Amino acid sequence: MKQHPDDRPLPFPTLSAALAHWAASTPHALALTAASDELTYADLSRRVSRCAGWLAEQGVGPGDRVVIVGHNTLAWVVHYLAVLSMGAVIAPANNRLNPAQFADQVDLLGAVLVLADEEHRDIVARLPAQRVRALSENNESTVHATVPSLDAKSPALVSFTSGTTGKPKGATLTQRALAEASWAFVRVLDTDNSDSTLVVVPMFHNTGFVDQLGHMLLLGARTDLLHKFSRVAAVEALLARPVTYLAAVPSVIRLIMLADGADTALAPLRTLLYGGSPMPAPWIQELLERWPRIRPFHGYGMTEYGSAVSFLTPEYARDFGESVGFAVPGTTIRIVGDDNADVAPGDVGELWVKGPTIMQGYWRQPELTASKIHDGWLRTGDLARLDDGLYYIEGRVDDVINRGGEKVLPAHVEGLLASIQAVGQSCVFGVPDPIMQNRVWAAVEERPGETFDPIAAREALRPFLPDYAVPERIEILNPMPRTASGKIDRRAVAAHFKGLAMRTLAPRA
Q: What per-residue confidence (pLDDT) applies to 483?
A: 77
Segments of the chain with pLDDT less than 50: 1-4, 163-165, 508-509
Cβ contact 388:402 at 8 Å: no
Using alpha carbons, list the distances in angstroms from residue 217 to 173, 300, 336, 355.
Answer: 18, 22, 36, 22
Question: Are β-strands 437-446 and 423-433 bridged in parallel, bridged antiparallel, or unpaired?
Answer: antiparallel
Amino acid letter, 503: R
Map residue 10 onto helix, strand or coil: coil
Q: What single DSSP character describes residue 213?
A: I
CA 439 to chain centre: 30
- Closest by CA to 88, choosing from 55, 50, 115, 61, is 61
* CB-side neighbour CA atoms (13 Å) of 55: 37
* CB-side neighbour CA atoms (13 Å) of 327: 19
Torsion region of 190: left, alpha or beta (phi above 0 gives left; psi -120 to 50 gives alpha): left
As beta bridge partners, residue 476 has 444
- What DSSP string describes 41-93? HHHHHHHHHHHHHHHHHTT--TT-EEEEE-SS-HHHHHHHHHHHHTT-EEEEP
With 0-12 / 13-18 / 19 or more C-beta atoms within 10 angstroms meaning exposed / middle / buried, residue 401 is buried
Q: What per-residue confidence (pLDDT) applies to 378?
A: 98
Q: What per-residue confidence (pLDDT) applies to 81?
A: 98
Q: What per-residue confidence (pLDDT) applies to 161?
A: 84
pTM, entire model: 0.85
Q: Phi and psi of 468, rounded to 5°?
A: -70, -15
| All structural domains of the chain | 11-387 (3.40.50.12780), 400-505 (3.30.300.30)
Q: What per-residue confidence (pLDDT) applies to 166?
A: 56
